[in-house]
Amino acid sequence: MTRALTSGFSVRRGQHVCVPYGRPEDAVRLLPVHLTTALEHGEKIIYVCGQGTAGDGAAGQAGQVADRLSELLAVSRQEVGALVTRGQLAVRSDLAGWPTACGGRYDAEKVLAALLSECEVARGTGYLGLRVCVAVPATASRTAAESESTASTASGADRVDGGTRPESLTDVEQWISTAMSGGELAELAMICHYDQRGTEPERMTAVRRAHPAVLDARHAHHREPLLRVIRLADRRGLRLGGEIDRTNIEEFAAALVAAFHPGESFHLELDELRYADVAAVRLMVQTAEAFPNGHRVVLHSPAPLIRATLRIYGWDRLPTLLIEERSSG
């Protein structure tokens, strides 16, 4: 079964993700997303730019990708260059000839061996994993799709014994998926961008099927919402999940104001709130301060850090603020 993902930021190691796109700008917009995600998770990232022709120097391609990234991230070229120097960011034209080999025939074993070797290099240089972002050009998918029809007529019989037989593009993807689902390449997050312009829908379907997960390129540059707010059904208050910081505190403040009523105690169920900065904890406290005695703000199951913040700021002594260990709701 193919799993549908919604954000490029949520691709994790062990996942092999297909990103079909119809507009080049959708794919380009994802390049910094993959980089940020790799940096957040301590991974090395390799962009396989899939444009390997003999005329292009690898250094020239690396330069182009770095330029693109610095432009998209709005940071200086040096800033991206520092990641290249550290060996955390690399650009390749292909991996053992994939996905750009002439004629659309590949050696899946060599591709896998290249991935394993890149994972070892990443780990050996201190990174916690490897993120590979492959751009499969439309020409490659077309060539692959054409060769696929011949491959499928040849049937699976010689696939069993023919280890060194040239493979089609989707065969390689399938090999990678099989290897990853078998626990090999556990440190790898593999993201394959497919230009679907000019590719027949059924061929695109085969490409998708070769990946366990698919990401919608149009919206994948957004993070999943940092904060989830749900009104409690059985009493006045909110269930919060995720994180609150200065970037989304207005959203939290608005939810508080909308749900609050001075005539009733107010419950905040916090067991799924991973992080609240000092300003967010302060908002909870200010809400409690607004109460006359008799009603309270009740914080259910705050994370240790939220509890520590209340204590360190001396806000846990407020008589109208109550901390409950377990949510009773």
Partner 1 sequence: MTGQRAALVHQACIYGSDAEFLAMAVPFIDEGLADDVPVIAVTTAHNIALLRATVADCASVEFIENTGWYRAPGRTTIDFHHRIREHPGPGRIRVLGEVVWQGREPRRVREWKDYEALANITFAEAAAWIVCPYDSRVLPDDVVADARRTHPSCLEGRRTRASEEYLGPAAFAVPRPPVLPARRPDAILPLTRDLSAVRRFVETWTTARAGAAGADRATELSAAVSEAAGHLAESGDGRVRLRLWVDAETLSCEVRAPEARLPGAHPGCLPPAVDPVPGDGLWLARYLCSSVTVYADAEGSTAFLEMAPVAG
d(CA 195, CA 83): 27
Nearest of 33, 122, 24 to residue 69 by alpha carbon: 33
One residue of 79, 120, 200, 271 binding partner 1 per CB under 8 A: 79
One residue of 71, 109, 245, 272 binding partner 1 per CB under 8 A: 245
- Point out which span in 181-189, 231-239, 245-253, 255-263 binds partner 1 (CB under 8 A): 245-253
Residue 84 binding partner 1, by CB under 8 A: no
CB 43 within 8 A of CB 9: no
Residue 22 binding partner 1, by CB under 8 A: no
**What residues between 187 and 216 interact with partner 1 by CB under 8 A?**
none
Instruction: Choose between 37 and 100: whose C-beta lies nearer to partner 1.
Output: 37
Residue 226 binding partner 1, by CB under 8 A: yes
Nearest of 43, 172, 44 to residue 98 by alpha carbon: 172
Distances (CA, A) of 89 to 34, 66, 79, 123: 11, 9, 11, 14
| C-alpha 230: how far from chain center | 25
d(CA 10, CA 20): 17
Residues in the interface with partner 1 (CB under 8 A) total 37
- Give me the least distance between CB of 308 and partner 1, in Å please: 8
One residue of 22, 42, 60, 103 binding partner 1 per CB under 8 A: 42
- Point out which span in 15-23, 256-264, 291-299, 302-310 binds partner 1 (CB under 8 A): 302-310
Instruction: Choose between 151 and 188: whose C-beta lies nearer to partner 1.
Output: 188
**Intra-chain end-to-end CA distance of the chain, in Å:** 36
Give the phi and the psi of residue 203 in degrees, each rounded to 5.
Answer: -70, -40
* Residue 64 three-state SS: helix
At 11, list the tokens: 């691709």
- Give me the least distance between CB of 320 and partner 1, in Å please: 12
Give the phi and the psi of residue 167 in degrees, each rounded to 5.
Answer: -115, 160
Residue 39 binding partner 1, by CB under 8 A: yes
CB 265 within 8 A of CB 297: yes
* Residue 106 three-state SS: strand
One residue of 208, 223, 236, 296 binding partner 1 per CB under 8 A: 223
Instruction: Choose between 146 and 245: whose C-beta lies nearer to partner 1.
Output: 245
Instruction: Choose between 181 and 247: whose C-beta lies nearer to partner 1.
Output: 247
One residue of 40, 161, 250, 325 binding partner 1 per CB under 8 A: 40
Q: How many residues are given for the chain?
A: 329
Contacts with partner 1 by CB under 8 A lie at 36, 39-42, 73-75, 79-80, 82-83, 86, 126, 128, 223, 226, 243, 245-247, 275, 277-279, 282, 285-286, 289, 304-305, 308-309, 312-315
